Structure 1
Amino acid sequence: MASHQTQGIQQLLAAEKRAAEKVAEARKRKVRRIKQAREEAAAEVDAYRKERERQFREYEAKYMGSREDIAAKIDKDTEQLIINLEKSVKDNKENLILDIIDLVCEVQTNVHPNYYIMRHHNKI
C-alpha cells in the first residue's frame, strides 16, 4: 500500500512537472508571438508612414511647387524689395537731410507751461 501511494505521488509529481513545462513552453510561445506581432506592427506603421510621406511630397510638388522653386521665388522677391528700398533711399535722401538740418537749425523757444501756472498763482 505504501509503495502504491508512493508511486501515485511520483506520478502526480511527474504530471505536475510536465504541466509546469507545458505552461513554461506556452509562455515562451506567447512571448515570441507578442514580439513577432510588435515587429509586424512596427513594419506596417513604417510602411504606412513612408506611403503618407510619398503622398505628401506628391501633393506638395503638385500644388506648391518644389522647395527649390519656392526658394528661388523668395530670393527674387527679396532682391526686388532691396532694389525698391535702395531706390527709395536714393530718392528721399536729400530731402531727409534738409529736413534734419532745418529741425536742428531752427530752434523755437517756448515758455514752459508750468511758468504760466506758477505766475497765475503768484508763485513767481
Structure 2
Amino acid sequence: MASQSQGIQQLLQAEKRAAEKVAEARKRKNRRLKQAKEEAQAEIEQYRLQREKEFKTKEAAALGSHGNSAVEVDRDTAERMGRIQNSYRGNREAVLGELLRRVCDIQPEFHANYRVAG
C-alpha cells in the first residue's frame, strides 16, 4: 500500500509539473503573440508614415503649379483692385459734379408721348 501511495504521489507530482509546464508554455505563447502584435503595429505605422510622406510629396508636386497659379491670381486681383481704386479716386469728383449738374439743371418739357386733349 505504501508503494501504491508513493506511486500516486509521484503521479500527482508529475501531473502538477506537466500542468506547470503547460501554463508556462501558454505564457510564453501569449508573450510571443503580444510581441508579434507590437512588431506588426510598429511596421504598420512605419509603412503608413512612408506612404503619407510619398503622398505629400506627390501632392506638393501636383499642387505646386496650382499654388503658383493661386499666387498669380491673387497678385493679378490686387493689381486690378488698385487700378479700380485709382480710377474711382480720379473720376469721383467729375462724376459727382456731372450728376449734381444734371439733377439741379431742371428744364421742364413735355414728354414725347404727351397729347393735348381737345
What TM-score results when the alignment is normalised by the length of structure 1?
0.64
List alignment gaps of at least 5 residues for structure 2: 106-118
Q: Which residue of 1 aligns with 2:26?
A: 23
| SS of residue in 2 equivalent to 1:56 | helix
Give % identity.
Answer: 13
Distance 1:26 1:82, change over 3 A: farther
Q: Which residue of 1 aligns with 2:9?
A: 6
In 2, the alpha carbon distance for the partners of 1:93 and 1:45 equals 65
**What is the correspondence of 1:4-83 to structure 2 with a 5 Å cutoff?**
4-65=7-68, 68-69=71-72, 71-83=74-86
Deviations 1:37-63 (A, max 9, x none): 011001101110110110010011145
Deviations 1:53-100 (A, max 9, x none): 100100111455276545534433443443454456455333455688
| SS of residue in 1 equivalent to 2:7 | helix
Distance 1:19 1:84, change over 3 A: farther
Choose between structure 1 and 2 for higher RCO, CA contacts under 8 A separated by at least 6 residues. 1
Segment drifting more, 53-62 vs 66-75: 66-75
In 1, the alpha carbon distance for the partners of 2:39 and 2:68 equals 41
Shift of 1:26: 0.5
Deviations 1:4-61 (A, max 9, x none): 0110000000010011001001101100110110110011011101101100100111
Q: Which residue of 2 aligns with 1:116?
A: none
- Root-mean-square deviation (CA, aligned residues, Å) is 2.8
